[in-house]
Amino acid sequence: MKQLESEAQYDELKNAGKHIFLFSADWCPDCRVIEPILPEIEQKYPEYSFVHVDRDKFIDICIANDVFGIPSFIAYEDGKELGRFVSKDRKTQQEIENFIQSL
């Protein structure tokens, strides 16, 4: 999974192509739980580029997108938000895949 490196990169990615942004943090136990399943999810949905957004490094992006709970996902295609799975709750692989399939 690609790591977000700047706010400019975030704007560039969300406005060009199909991307799913995962908002997460190193200290988040629920984020660590889903980490092992993420490569499998990425393989199942190759039409999307998955991008990890470190909540602590990019708090302004989180605030601008109303992401106050992690792990959370927001999907974009060419600048249009396709959907969001944003909450502070632990997420299962099935819930994440259901979200992606609903886009």
Residue 62 a catalytic site member: no
Query: Of the listed 31, 67, 74, 96, which one is catalytic?
Result: 31
Query: Of the listed 28, 96, 100, 103, which one is catalytic?
Result: 28
Residue 28 a catalytic site member: yes
Rounded to a whole number of angstroms, the distance between the first and last alpha carbons of the chain is: 20
Residues annotated catalytic, as ranges: 28, 31
